[in-house]
Structure 1
């Protein structure tokens, strides 16, 4: 019988803290609701993998709590196999014995999961162009990631936790995987409620721009921002201005808000909250659509500029 978690996130971390020598995961909180794909971003060493391991109960926590499908992370090791079967995990390395063939991996998984769907596994192998006779050790990194995804999906999980799962894939293959992930979170239960969710860490933020609902950024063990992806990519903007124009922007926008800016030899990039209003107020200043990379870079490395002017001119979008 399927675990039921209604009215609560399927994946949740609250104030998760973990201390290591030279690094601390500090008060990390995030949540993934049914039907959601949450992108988890940050530089190497920022704490993404540590957070994922804490969620899965693979490491102990020094503070806070985490739950998957309502089960505390600290209890996942001792949880029933049925709970574990509802969680699909893909790390950034292939975690099956390298001497096995792809077909043998499928037979091994059939022994591990009572919910294993051999026909679904074969469909994924066909979709990913994986040959059953091929040895795991002979797979490229990208093909190895496809095998890991096929294994994670073929036992009918409710939750997918993906750590750089599209790494090593060419653009066409990544698009195929993204289509599969979209279909996964669109699945409904017998009562028409969305049943699945995905937490997906990735350095390929263009993938997250295509499928993520929320984006959570971590840096040096702390959550820097958690924001709706559409707010970033559809509403915000990056103004490309000169120093003299920056003074005009700061005098003409809403105080006491804070802008973030990065200075370059050729000018200044300024993150603005609404590029449509900005364009009406400052039509002479180019303002581009924001990518997740832009937003992350300006959030992490941009300087803060306190506004001191009146409200931004222009009507509502």
Structure 2
């Protein structure tokens, strides 16, 4: 399968943090969710992709180009929405069009103004007067108006109300429908990824802990709450993590159908992306 993004053995060391030999891919035509707690390394990895920081080692290829040698070409074909990224504050929303058409060779003014209308962004309002949510919508309008093939989004939906967030998620799904466009979405709102992600990449303390397809998670993973004696009778092959509570054990299983064949009365709940993240951070990993 062709990849839009390939990150290989990426390492960056700071005084109190190391992004440690990180490798992952974003297949073309997919939405990949990048999750992890604050300080896990998600923003560091994205900053390296955008050549904002220089990694100590490793390689990054975006749209089959080297992220350093071909940076200008890449940025013509990539849309970016970062947390706290704002446009020039004293400009009116409509003036963004004038600026961006000088930056992007494929800038589409008609599409930009369509997004302003869709997102209910007043053309004659200054950027500095916009709320955080409106700023996020403006950044999305820019990212989607120059015919980008790949969207890199870092906590981009965190300032949106649930209705607008749902609209953006629908836009992202439409964006990848032709199977030539791709999205990397770093977010703390894991319920968004439950709705739209094709793959989940989980980072913890600078390391990749978990890369799975959404289909694999839905079909095979589940959460079992059981008594201690039942847990002790389970084989370690039956689960991948557990959290001991006062009177019971919560267990993350990764072959739920097989377990249900052996124990037909078991109740195994659906494992959400947030469940998996909490098991890997707070639980005991097998």
- TM-score of the alignment, normalized to the shorter chain, above 0.5: yes
Instruction: Return the match for 1:227 from 203, 209, 212.
Output: 212
Per the alignment, residue 288 of structure 1 pairs with: 269
Q: Which residue of 2 aligns with 1:143?
A: 134
- Paired with 2:246 and 2:130, the residues of 1 have a C-alpha distance of 45
Report the aligned-residue RMSD.
Answer: 1.7
Higher RCO by CA contacts (8 Å cutoff, separation 6 or greater): 2
Q: TM-score, normalised by structure 2?
A: 0.94
Residue 256 of structure 1: CA displacement? Answer: 4.9
Task: Indicate the residue corresponding to 2:195 in structure 1.
Answer: 210
Is residue 172 of structure 1 aligned with residue 163 of structure 2?
yes
5+ unaligned residues in a row in structure 1: which ranges?
1-6, 188-193, 306-317
Relative to 1, partners in 2 of residues 1:235 and 1:257: Cα closer, same or farther, differing over 3 Å? Answer: closer
SS in 2 for 1:143: helix
Specify the structure having the higher radius of gyration (Cα): 1
Whether the 8 Å contact between 1:261 and 1:303 is mirrored in structure 2 is yes
Cα pair 1:87 1:161 within 8 Å, conserved: yes
Residue deviations 1:67-87 (CA, integer Å, cap 9, x gap): 11122122244x34xx32101
Unaligned runs of 5+ in 2: none
Q: Say whether the 8 Å CA contact 1:103–1:132 is kept in structure 2.
A: yes
Q: 1:31 is paired with a residue of what secondary structure?
A: strand
Mapped contact 2:81–2:156 kept (Cα < 8 A): yes
Q: Contact (CA 8 Å) 2:239, 2:255: kept in 1 or not?
A: no
SS of residue matched to 1:102: coil
1:131 paired with 2:122, answer: yes
The answer to whether the 8 A contact 2:136-2:157 is kept is yes
Contact kept in structure 1, 2:239 and 2:251, CA below 8 Å: no
> For residues 162 and 29 of structure 1, do their structure 2 counterparts lie closer, same or farther at Cα, with a shift above 3 Å needed?
same
Give 1:109's match in structure 2, choosing from 100, 105, 109: 100
Mapped partners of 1:31, 1:181: distance in 2? 18
1:299 counterpart residue number: 280
Alignment of 1:148-297 (within 5 A): 148-187=139-178, 194-248=179-233, 250=234, 253=235, 256=237, 259-297=240-278
TM-score (normalised: structure 1): 0.86
SS at match of 1:231: helix
Distance 1:131 1:166, change over 3 A: same
